[in-house]
Structure 1
Amino acid sequence: MSSINANAKKSEITLYSFGGFGSNLLYVLTTSFLLYFYTDVFKISPIAVGSVFLIVRLIDAILDPMIGMLADRTNSKWGTYRPWLIFGSPLLAMVTLLLFTAPHLSPSAKIYYAIATYVGYSFVSSIVNIPYHSLTAILSQDSSQRTVIATAKQFMGTFGALVASAAVLPLIALFGSGQKGWFFTTLLFSILSIASFWLCAHGAKRHDIKKVNSKNDSSSIDGHPTLKAQINIITKNKPLLLLLIAFLANMVAFVTSISTSIYYWQYNIGRLDLFSKLNLWGTLISIPVFMLIPPLVKKFGKKHVYMYASLFSIIPFVVILLIPYKNVMPIFVLSIIISLIGPLTSVLPWTMLPDCVDYGKWKTGINGSGTVHSMAIFTNKVGGAIGGLISGAVLGAVGYVAGQHQTPEVLKTIGYMNFLVPILGYIVIVIVMKFYPITNEFSAKMVEEINNREKKNEAAV
């Protein structure tokens, strides 16, 4: 157990954080551009695209929790979670490439192809990302260092998001535009993601060398958690259930906004060139905010920083929603401000998940990091599906036609999806966080009791 309980070295945290780059590189590529790729490149109707998103997420409802539970039960010479990164990341690269391929098919065959490739992508993404996020909880048991670890991986994830959001359109043009441009851009991103996940796995090698659940645990059979105990990690975990509601609200808002953002800058503002610039400058300006997260959390606690950051995020969304489209630069500046606050609302939920892992272990006696993180990723996918369904279905319902001059009704709807939906999401988060029970003091108490329990178990052997 000593290797698992030991704090992580700075070099290990740095290597582990590269997983955030690879993960966000492909994640932001799909969330930001897949709807646009389907409607404007693959030529699938927006309503059909929304249906594809919904079908895939319903399948994920079954698969993701199973993957998390299976990851917690893994016992190999490569560790518990690392083999999923080592062997899964090349497969993820391949299915992502298929996802952004547009073969010449009939309209109905295109939908079947989209469903098949998106199911494949979503499944393989889970078998890589659930273990990747699960490693955070075993790299260190120190709550303050966990905040540093989660911040580091989200910080590196920001660079992945930056490359995906700012470089996609220029790279597509560089590689020849159209389907050819999309193929080679995705190929480049896929190769970078493999290298990132392998670096991540190497960084966690010292800590992920054995089963994370001991045979002495009361809720295990031969070192494997029982199914009932793994389910209890979720159902008897009030902090996790509240945090999952926040994850859901945040992801519905994020995906609805980000998937319609390219439409907003192309059709509402008429300045598609500003879309890539916004992503570039918004990300660069937000970088110093990552450095503020550990000291803010140490002083005010994760719960309060997350709650007030969400509350302050509402203000620029409201202002943009109220001003006319002709005010291009004010809208651009306010959008930059949204990006500036973004690290606080995106990082904090992930720093809180390891505390929910501790809460589950405190209650059940087993480490369910894979189970807990699988529920977070599943919830994110459901939120993404709802956001994608809203975006696609609503655009189709109001009469959006790709590449054409849009009606005032369509333009107004794009604006609402881009700004009103996030406002509602952040309101839900503020309310939910009022009831979240884990504070810095509560977390320290849980870890102390867990360590005392484990020492007693080891002494009894």
Structure 2
Amino acid sequence: MSTAQNTRTDRLSVTEKVGYSLGDLAANLIFQTLTTFLAFFYTDIYRIPAGTAATIIFVVGMLGAFVFTPLVAVLADRTNSRWGKFRPWVLWTAVPFGVLSLLAFTTPDLGPQGKVFYAAATYTLLVLVYAANNLPYSALSGVLTGNMGERNSLSAYRFVAVMVAQLVVQSLLLPLVLILGDGDRVQGFQNTMLLFAVVGTIFMVITFLTTRERVVPPPEQKSTIRQDVSDLVHNRPWLVLLLVTVLVFITLALKGGTYVYYFEYYLDEAAMAAFLERIGFNGFIAGLNAALTGIGLSGFQWPEDATTSAFSLFNAGGIIFMVVGIGFSKKLADRFGKRDVYGVFLFVSTLFMLAFYVFRPDAIGLVFLSQILHGFFYGITIPLLWAMVADVADYSEWKNGRRATAIIFSAILCGLKAGLAVGGALVAWILSTHGYQAGEQAQSQEAIDGIRLSVSLYCSIPFLVAVALLFFYRIDKATESRIEHDLAARHAGQAA
């Protein structure tokens, strides 16, 4: 029986699912840091003007989307080694990815122009290596198994790991920066990224060692780049997913990059301190320190300012409930189909983002509640986008008789990076146009209004357009089953 035929029934072991998911945990320690803190790092830590920071983020992001990612896709689809097409790339890029992650958050004193050049150069190299790592890693999920139920399960494992990384970055990064830098945020960022780089490199190697490629193109398949591109542009589900991906990641970059400003400059610090006291958070930290010192250990060094503590707890609450939402994703997708579940819960999650505009500066409890509910409903959608991309690769093979997994994933990753570039640049651009002054203790009302609009209305618009686009995505539950059945029969015939 052929390898291709086996993939239609083979189940993935827990070890392989966990091993694969560690690669996403590693990548997202860096990816989430870039999404959430790069604009803040450039403007408030490295002191690059906001408009210049926006230009760097946008231009380099577009290079990643439309130059680096397609180039890697062409090379990866044509890679043939004893380890497969995609696994070698995960191994080859593990160490360079870690090194460049550290360099991108290092702050040499080079003068105003030198800082801009250094930031642009290190970010460009990091985005290049990220493409060479993450595209083959993502495409690997489409060739570990051809069983769509197993893909749903693999996606759930993968995105629990993503949420762990997101929890670490969004909840613990600023505390880690202060702790590891002994109050110096410049040194703290460097030490934190060194820790992330070492852990990430180890996890990438584990991913390489624990996975195996099973879905392979027929040996006789020969396709040109022109044929692959032609297949793409005539693949309507892919076109829809591409646009959806761009829109979703515009929102993720915009809201993720603006939350830190929302806490720094809009929410009332005294109200945040009172909220932390009221819910017992301060008491928890004090009790933890008492327990540690009581047994002869050092106390847990948590930042004392209410803004950092509240921001970290805010992110933690949203991420924890995203993980809870992910737990519902597979069962709902198996029953109703990925498309319908994705669209419904993306819409519901948007409603809780819109609410951020109307909250008063002292309405801390409502801010946290809205974040938790948004996190839960958005969490249901998280594994489904990438599972749908794998389905689109199957759809392309089903329609055209040719399989080009990497180029399909690369095209979606182009959308992801374009979305991140636009969304990340929008953070700095909106701040700049609204008169934001980096490093100032107080901002103008115009700047604060821009921050409020960014985390609410501006973030919601791309999500709502993405929901509307899903009406044109035709791979529903019935079509999923038909594609899986037809490809299984086709591969069995090829083996015979």
What is the TM-score when the length of structure 2 is the normalising length? 0.88
Using the alignment, how far apart are the partners of 2:494 and 2:147 within structure 1? 21
Structure 1: gaps of 5 or more residues: none
Does 1:14 pair with 2:18? Answer: yes
The offset of 1:155, in angstroms, is 0.9
Using the alignment, how far apart are the partners of 1:282 and 1:40 within structure 2? 25
Q: Are 1:20 and 1:155, in contact at CA under 8 Å, matched by a contact in 2?
A: no
Does 1:191 pair with 2:227? Answer: no
The offset of 1:127, in angstroms, is 0.7
Using the alignment, how far apart are the partners of 1:13 and 1:315 within structure 2? 33
Radius of gyration: which is bigger? 2
Using the alignment, how far apart are the partners of 1:296 and 1:7 within structure 2? 20
Given the alignment, which residue of 381, 388, 405 partners 2:417? 381
5 Å-filtered alignment, 1:105-184, equals 105-176=110-181, 177-184=184-191
Using the alignment, how far apart are the partners of 2:397 and 2:458 within structure 1? 35
1:50 corresponding residue in structure 2: 54
Using the alignment, how far apart are the partners of 2:380 and 2:57 within structure 1? 28
5 Å-filtered alignment, 1:228-267, equals 228-267=226-265
2:209 corresponding residue in structure 1: 202
1:304 corresponding residue in structure 2: 340
Q: Are 1:13 and 1:149, in contact at CA under 8 Å, matched by a contact in 2?
A: yes
C-alpha distance after superposition, 1:232-279 (max 9, x if no partner): 232121101101111111111110111011000010014423111111
Does 1:40 pair with 2:40? Answer: no
Of stretches 338-347 and 237-246 in structure 1, the one that deviates more from structure 2 is: 338-347
5 Å-filtered alignment, 1:60-75, equals 60=64, 61-75=66-80
Does 1:268 pair with 2:242? Answer: no
1:445 corresponding residue in structure 2: 482
Using the alignment, how far apart are the partners of 2:427 and 2:207 within structure 1? 34
2:287 corresponding residue in structure 1: none
Q: CA RMSD in A?
A: 1.6
Amino acid at match of 1:436: Y
Runs of 4+ in 1 over 4 A off after TM superposition: none
The offset of 1:376, in angstroms, is 1.5
Q: Are 1:7 and 1:139, in contact at CA under 8 Å, matched by a contact in 2?
A: no
Amino acid at match of 1:422: C
Does 1:348 pair with 2:361? Answer: no
Give SS of 1:212's match: coil
Does 1:365 pair with 2:366? Answer: no
Q: Are 1:16 and 1:202, in contact at CA under 8 Å, matched by a contact in 2?
A: no
C-alpha distance after superposition, 1:274-327 (max 9, x if no partner): 111111222223322221111101111111111111111122122221232221
Amino acid at match of 1:189: F
Using the alignment, how far apart are the partners of 2:387 and 2:377 within structure 1? 16
Amino acid at match of 2:230: N
Using the alignment, how far apart are the partners of 1:287 and 1:389 within structure 2? 28
C-alpha distance after superposition, 1:96-120 (max 9, x if no partner): 1111011111212211111111111
Q: Are 2:171 and 2:312, in contact at CA under 8 Å, matched by a contact in 1?
A: yes
1:408 corresponding residue in structure 2: 445
Amino acid at match of 1:54: F
Quote the sequence identity (%): 26
Q: Are 1:51 and 1:389, in contact at CA under 8 Å, matched by a contact in 2?
A: yes
Structure 2: gaps of 5 or more residues: 270-306
Amino acid at match of 2:115: K
Give SS of 2:143's match: helix
2:3 corresponding residue in structure 1: 2
Of stretches 9-18 and 236-245 in structure 1, the one that deviates more from structure 2 is: 9-18
Using the alignment, how far apart are the partners of 1:159 and 1:233 within structure 2? 36
Amino acid at match of 1:2: T
Using the alignment, how far apart are the partners of 2:163 and 2:189 within structure 1? 22
Using the alignment, how far apart are the partners of 2:26 and 2:397 within structure 1? 29
Q: Are 2:317 and 2:368, in contact at CA under 8 Å, matched by a contact in 1?
A: no
Using the alignment, how far apart are the partners of 1:253 and 1:127 within structure 2? 24
Give SS of 1:138's match: coil
The offset of 1:342, in angstroms, is 2.4
Using the alignment, how far apart are the partners of 2:262 and 2:392 within structure 1? 37
Q: Are 1:67 and 1:126, in contact at CA under 8 Å, matched by a contact in 2?
A: yes
5 Å-filtered alignment, 1:214-233, equals 214-217=218-221, 220=222, 225-233=223-231
Of stretches 116-125 and 387-396 in structure 1, the one that deviates more from structure 2 is: 387-396
The offset of 1:398, in angstroms, is 1.5
Q: Are 2:25 and 2:161, in contact at CA under 8 Å, matched by a contact in 1?
A: yes
Using the alignment, how far apart are the partners of 2:468 and 2:317 within structure 1? 31
Using the alignment, how far apart are the partners of 1:415 and 1:253 within structure 2? 14
Amino acid at match of 1:356: V
Using the alignment, how far apart are the partners of 1:318 and 1:163 within structure 2? 26
Alpha carbons of structure 1 residues 14 and 353: separation in structure 2 relative to 1, 3 Å: same
